[in-house]
Amino acid sequence: MRRDFPRNLDSLSPLYEFAEKLFETNDISPGVRFPVHLAMEELFVNMVKYNPNVTTDITVEVTVTFLGEATNDATSSKEVTVTLVDDGGVEFDVTAKRQVNIDAPLEERTPGGLGIHLIQNLADRLEYTYKDGRGEVIFTKGSGNEDV
Amino acid sequence: MEIKTTETGDVNVIEVAGHLDTNTSPDAESAINTLIDSGAQKVLINFAALEYISSAGLRVLLATAKKLKASGGDLKICSLNDTVQEVFDISGFSSILTVSKDQEEALASF
């Protein structure tokens, strides 16, 4: 499934609906739904916020791969790959380690970098490429590897 | 997302249901701030019906905890499902916030 979304936060509701339809159609297990949904939200919001003057759409493509026998029910192993293409945005390597001190006391905690920190910890694989002004993020999560 | 606010003794209980994400967090923050600005000091957020939280929701919790602590108040959280608990663990929020297994235990901890 592939769809272009206008680069603004009004696209989040259609993006959520896009994700839910995909989950239902492919009977994706709850342990995979959550990290995939989270990755779509966090990555999309980052692309919007860090590129306020860019007007190109953001392309979201999701593929489901059967890891074993293709029975298409929640018990079969599936790997979900989400690709977001940011054409015209600034370079933002989501695989780079961020300064998020999760052991700091409340008074010293800041909210920055939490979204990327979560994605990095929930992904089976996280890839980023940037060439000629075109950024591409690939987030992969498979059943059997659920963290939640 | 749905928010329901009740009072149990001197504790203001906020029940948040559904998704706490980029779209809904501003409304949640507004509701919580209205409560704090009206004088609430002991605040319990019950997440029993919360299905999903993203970093936008975590930011609201962080801001709320700091605001209450600065004014001598206290924020406590209860009833996380496994998904939300995992987010709390990965983000370190399990350490900086008091999280109880249910509302009864949380109320007793104030």
Residue B41's CB: how many other CB atoms inside 10 A? 15
- With CB atoms and an 8 Å threshold, state whether B21 touches A41: yes
- B108 lies in some domain: no
Could you tell me if A146 and A29 are in contact, meaning their C-beta atoms sit under 8 angstroms apart?
Answer: yes
pLDDT at A74: 55
Q: Which amino acid is at A19?
A: A
Asked, for residue B110, whether it belongs to a domain, the answer is: no
Q: At what angle do helices A30-49 and A12-26 cross, to 10 degrees?
A: 160
Both tokens of residue A134?
């075109």
pLDDT in tens, B42-90: 999 999 999 999 999 999 999 999 999 999 999 999 999 999 999 999 9
Residue of B nearest to A112 (CA): B59
Reduce the DSSP state of residue A71 to 3 states and report it: coil
Mean pLDDT lowest among A41-55, A70-84, A109-123, B48-62: A70-84
* Domain total in chain B: 1
Residue B18 domain flag: yes
In a domain, B20, yes or no: yes
Residue B40 lies in a domain: yes
In B, minimum Cα distance to A9 occurs at B23
A73-100: pLDDT as tens digits: 555 688 999 999 999 999 999 999 887 8
CATH number at A2-142: 3.30.565.10
**pLDDT value at position A67?**
78
In chain A, the percentage of residues whose pLDDT exceeds 90 is 72
B29 inside domain: yes
Q: Which domain holds residue B98?
A: 2-103
Asked if the C-beta of B54 comes within 8 angstroms of chain A's C-beta atoms, the answer is yes
The answer to whether position B109 is within a domain reads no
Looking at the domain assignment, is residue B13 inside a domain? yes
Close Cβ partners of B27 (under 8 Å, ≥ 6 residues apart): B1, B3
Q: What is the token pair recorded at A107? A: 């008074």
CATH value at residue B61: 3.30.750.24
- A11-30 pLDDT tens trace: 999 999 999 999 999 889 88
